Amino acid sequence: MKVPFIDLGAQYESIKAEIHDAIGQVLRSTAFAGGPFVSRFEENFARFCGTNHAVGVGNGTDALWFSLLAAGVGPGDEVITVPNTFIATAEAISFCGAKPVFVDVDEKTCTMDPARIEKAFTPKTKAIIPVHLYGQTADMDPILALAKNRKIPVIEDACQAHGSAYKGRPAGSLGLAGCFSFYPGKNLGAYGEAGAVVTNDADTAQKIRIMRDHGQARKYDHRVIGWNGRMDGIQGAVLDVKLRHLDAWNEGRRKNGRRYTELLKKLSAVTPPHEALWSTHVYHIYAIRVKERDLLIEKLNEMGISCGIHYPVPIHLQKAYENLGLRRGAYPVAEKIADELVSLPMFPELREDQIVHVVEKIADLVG
C-alpha cells in the first residue's frame, strides 16, 4: 500500500466547487493584487485567531520580517529564538540587521524551553520569537512573563500552528504579533505563496500594512522604505474558502494523531509526539523519534510510505550561520531531536487502514 506524506489533491476534490467559484469571482473582478478578497480574508482570519487585526502578506517570511521591523528591531539588536525551526525564522531576524540568539528546547514538546531564556538576555535583546512547532504552541505564559519584565515584545512564529491554542487562547493572539505562513502544505494552505500577521495592536497592524506596500500610506505617499509583500487576490479568495473548513480538517488531524499515538505506544523503540496539557495540538507534522532514523526512512520510502525530516540540521549548524561561531554541542537537546525525528504521513483525509499499515511497517523495521 502506498501512503503519501500529504494529499492536497484529496483536499481539493472535497472543496472543488467552492474553490472554482471563488477564483472565478477574482477573475471576473480582476482584483488580483490585494483588494476586496484579501480584505475579506483578513477580517475572517482575525476573527478566527481572536485578534483585532490581520494583515495579509506575501509569505510567512514576510510576516516575521515585517513584525520585527514594526517592533523596532534593527541593526545591532538581538532576538531570542530556537535553533530547531525552518531557517526563515532566523532569516527574518537577519534581514533586520539583527542577530539571532538561540536557546535550547524542551525535549518533550520540541518548543522553546522558558527556563533557558534568562541566560540568553543581553542589553541588546529586543524581542523573543517562540516557535509553535509541528502544530503545538510553545509554553507561552512564562515566556510572556519574562518578556514583560524586560519590556520587550514577543512575536509568535505560528507558521505551523493554524488553529492551535494555548490554554484555550488561539495561537498568534498571545504576543504583540502572530506570524502565519500559508504555504500549500500548511493546515491552512494557499495555492501558492501567502502569509499573514495577526495582532491586537492597531499601530503594529498599520506599520505592517505600509511596509508590505512599498512603504505607502496611500498611493505614491511613501512614508518608509518598504517592500513588495502584498497578498494576491486569488490567494485571499482561496484561503477564505479553506478557512471555513479548517476546524474540521484540524479535528481530522487530531483524530489521526490520536490513532497513531495509540498504536505507536506499543513500540518501545518509538517515541510518539507529546501533547502538552496546555496545548491544543493540530498536528501539522506528526513527528516520532527513533534511533537509526535514516535507515527507517529509507526502508519506509522503499515500501511506498512517504516520510520526511523536520528539520535535519539545526540552524546554528547551517553554513549560512557559521558566522555565529557555534558548533555541535551548543544546543544538545535540539541536536538530539534533529538526529532522531521522522515525520510520518499526516493529513485530514488519511485513512484508518493507512495509519495501521504505516505503524505495522514501522514495527517490522524497529520492533
**pLDDT at 253 (0 to 100):** 98
**pLDDT at 5 (0 to 100):** 98
CA distance 193 to 32: 14
**pLDDT at 29 (0 to 100):** 98
**pLDDT at 314 (0 to 100):** 98
Q: Residue 79's pLDDT band (boundaries 50, 70, 90)?
A: very high
Mean pLDDT, rounded, of the chain: 98
User: Residue written as cell 540540521?
Assistant: 313
With the CA atoms of 246, 179, 170 and 164 taken in that order, what torsion angle do they form, in degrees rounded to the nearest 10? 50
**pLDDT at 207 (0 to 100):** 98
**pLDDT at 333 (0 to 100):** 98
Q: What is the pLDDT of residues 258-283, one digit of tens each?
A: 999 999 999 999 999 999 999 999 99
pTM higher than 0.85 = yes
**pLDDT at 146 (0 to 100):** 98
Residue partners of 306: CB distance under 8 A and separation at least 6: 3, 4, 5, 300, 345
Mean pLDDT of 69-86: 98
For the domain spanning 8-103+110-243, the CATH number is 3.40.640.10
Radius of gyration of the chain (CA): 20
Would you state the cell numbers that stand for residue 177, as one nine-digit string? 504579533
Residue 236 has pLDDT above 90, yes or no: yes
* Class of domain 246-366 (CATH, top level): alpha beta
Residue 367 has pLDDT above 80, yes or no: no
Q: What is the pLDDT of residues 92-122, one digit of tens each?
A: 999 999 999 999 999 999 999 999 999 999 9
**pLDDT at 135 (0 to 100):** 98
Domain boundaries, the chain: 8-103+110-243, 246-366
